[in-house]
Amino acid sequence: MDNLINNYVKFISENKTERLCTQTSVRIAQENGYRDINTVDKLKAGDKVYYDKMGKSLILFNIGSDDISKGMNILGAHIDSPRLDAKQNPIYEDKLYKTGIVYLNTHYYGGIKKYQWVASPLAIYGVVVKADGTKVDVAIGDDPEDPVFCISDILPHIAQEQMKKTAADFIEGEKLDAILACYPNVKKYRNPEEGKYEPGDGKKKVLQFLEDKYGIKEDDFASAELELVPAGQARFIGFDKTLVLGYGQDDRVCAYTSLIAMVEGKAGNRTNCCILADKEEVGSNGATGMNSHLLDNAVAEVVARLDIKGNPELAVRRTLANSYMLSSDVNSAFDPLNPGLYDIYNSSFLGRGVVFNKYTGARGKSGASDANPEFIAKVRGKLYESEVYFQNAELSKVDTGGGGTIARNAAEFGMNVLDCGVSVMSMHAPWEITSAFDIEQAYKCYKAFLELA
């Protein structure tokens, strides 16, 4: 288990975007005998394949001995996390006040508290695709030799007006722009006769640097996907080192443990499946999100390669409807500094095991799939047998708020789905907190679940 935790900390430190998570997960899958489904013509019991969607979502299959139409055991997590995305025209220079500061213009992704992203070191990750199709990977800010980037804030001495605002308005979305460089015209101020300040010189120098280092021109940003994320490595918290502090643990803590449980497991009668989906933090929309036909298209590719008689479309529908799924997503950990937000009798706690959340949604269970008790009992029985620690909880008090997972997307196929993940404190903050014990229990839970008959 020490290896599991240390490898997990390494994973979230090195894979801060959904693209990087997918790349690393593909490598891990290949090392464990999985093949790209596009290279396989026929499938049989015991075969292992993966379905890669645009390099941002990944689905793994380990074929069981039964007819796949009897259903699969599915672990479903997401690998996107709240962040700041660069806009399509992202680089600009302050020309009005002639400071020489060059900025990256951003648009926040997912539910964040905007004020948490200022005055902290940030890294830039992503890809730029040039007009000729050449893809350039960008990673700046986590290597010890790299610079970092930062969003400035107002000093408290002169922030009287800012401090009157609500937290939601404390920092405006349009002011979440990160400093890329500063090129003041020092000569102009020392010797005014030496030359006039030329607005735009700083931006030109940044663009020249990017062209020299990466071969990127300004118009290439039209086909770029760049993300600003917290710079720095995940670390352990406290003298006992029982807690993990890291970026993107919602939901990579469940994605990583699901992935490892999947590649280390072996399918029995039922086919095993692991989903690592994109776009959950923005409603699971888009081609790589669970609101698309991501899952049923992947299952259709598997069915087409199996020796199944009859209507293949009906086989896909039956496969999904008869499946069991754990929506491997996180839950809110009880915070003793803010106890009034939680129903103490229905809260999850750090260090008490994996969390069952029968329903998510908001207030009147809006947007929830609400798991069936028969299915919950089946999972409970397996976890008792496997000596896995688990707890039952809701996100918060009923009228306090709520949230959703990919459970509702999977439930639309008619399958049994239960939210089951790790408890997280400071969820959606740049740095989130989990328990090493809970990470271990999640791995054990997911491994046991894949053994369900």
CATH number, domain with residue 421:
3.40.630.10
pLDDT at 252: 97
- What are the φ and ψ backbone dihedral angles of 353, each rounded to 5 degrees? 105, 180
Q: Which of 319, 262, 278, 281 is nearest to 67 (CA)?
A: 319
Residue 357 lies in a domain: yes
Question: CA end-to-end span of the chain, whole Å?
Answer: 26
CATH of the domain at 170: 2.30.250.10
User: Does one domain contain both 18 and 100?
Assistant: no
Whether this prediction's pTM lies above 0.85 is answered by yes
Domain that holds residue 310: 2-81+247-449
How do the pLDDT tens digits run along the chain, 453 residues long? 789 999 999 999 999 999 999 999 999 999 999 999 999 999 999 999 999 999 999 999 999 999 999 999 999 999 999 999 999 999 999 988 888 899 999 999 999 999 999 999 999 999 999 999 999 999 999 999 999 999 999 999 999 999 999 998 999 999 999 999 998 866 555 555 555 556 678 899 999 999 999 999 999 999 999 999 999 999 999 999 999 999 999 999 999 999 999 999 999 999 999 999 999 999 999 999 999 999 999 999 999 999 888 899 999 999 999 999 999 999 999 999 999 999 999 999 999 999 999 988 777 887 778 889 999 999 999 999 999 999 999 888 888 877 889 999 999 999 999 999 999 999 999 999 999 999 999 999 999 999 998
Q: Which residue has the tokens 């390669």?
A: 305
User: Does one domain contain both 335 and 255?
Assistant: yes
Residue 285 lies in a domain: yes
Residue 338 lies in a domain: yes
pLDDT at 192: 54
User: Does one domain contain both 313 and 438?
Assistant: yes
Q: In whole angstroms, what separates CA 427 from the centre of its chain?
A: 12
pLDDT at 361: 77
pLDDT at 198: 66
Residue 240 lies in a domain: no
Give kind and range of the element (H or E) at residue 277.
Answer: strand 271-277
* Strand ranges, E, within 11-64: 35-36, 48-53, 57-62
pLDDT at 349: 97
Residue 439 and residue 93 in contact, taking contact as beta carbons nearer than 8 Å:
no
User: Does one domain contain both 69 and 130?
Assistant: no
The span from the CA of 439 to the CA of 435, in Å, is: 6
